[in-house]
Chain A
């Protein structure tokens, strides 16, 4: 598509629920990134894929966070047993190459109550 698409735009989860956030990158973009943006903060790196390979997951805050990109296109970020501190905007970005910068989606705002 023309841009990076994320769904849902908003998600309210009860504490302890599992959630799945979807990212559909720009067609042909090899690199895909997930970032977490807390209120009033800059985006914080979570994980990076090159095609279907997850090359860096050093930013995932706990083992409750899991990301996959099985066919090298759409990616899903899953958070198990959500906690209040997981409330944030989750941004997905894709890139053609390192020097191009990222194209970001509009994000998914997760609120854990």
Chain B
């Protein structure tokens, strides 16, 4: 089975500063990796995904993530955050042999004006 660890439950950051949200996974098979964002009282919205190929993945809203197989990580980054980026961020892993995805417990990003 797969599992996901999001190391930081809360990340405060000043507006226009860079941010990195950490995600580590465990799996014995090849995986798909995703980052989702959840705004208050809304469902989850896909930010970006890694399936194969280039390890640097670019997503919506200026976010990007890098797949590192040796470190089993998929950290999310943004060079300059906006107030509107304040939300909950979830990392998810799925195996190419299964159907369901496993989610981390989430990281609450708060952008401070």
Contacts and interface: CB of A to CB of B under 8 A. Distances in A.
14 contacts: A35-B103, A40-B106, A42-B90, A42-B106, A45-B100, A45-B102, A48-B99, A56-B100, A91-B43, A93-B44, A101-B46, A101-B49, A102-B44, A103-B46
B104 A98 contact: no
Interface string A83-104: 0000000010100001101111
A107 B94 CA distance: 21
A43 B90 contact: yes
A42 B32 CA distance: 18
Nearest to A46: B100
Interface string A43-82: 1110010100001100100000000000000000000000
A105 interface: yes
Interface of A: 4, 6, 31, 33, 35, 40-45, 48, 50, 55-56, 59, 91, 93, 98-99, 101-107
Interface of B: 4, 32, 34, 36, 41-46, 49, 51, 90, 94, 96, 99-106
A98 to B, nearest CB: 7
A55 B105 contact: no
A104 B94 CA distance: 16
B98 to A, nearest CB: 8
Given A42-B105, A91-B44, A104-B44, A98 B49 contact: no
Given A42-B104, A106-B41, 19 more contacts: A33-B100, A41-B105, A43-B90, A43-B103, A45-B101, A56-B99, A56-B100, A98-B94, A98-B99, A101-B32, A101-B34, A101-B46, A101-B49, A102-B46, A102-B101, A104-B36, A104-B45, A106-B42, A106-B43
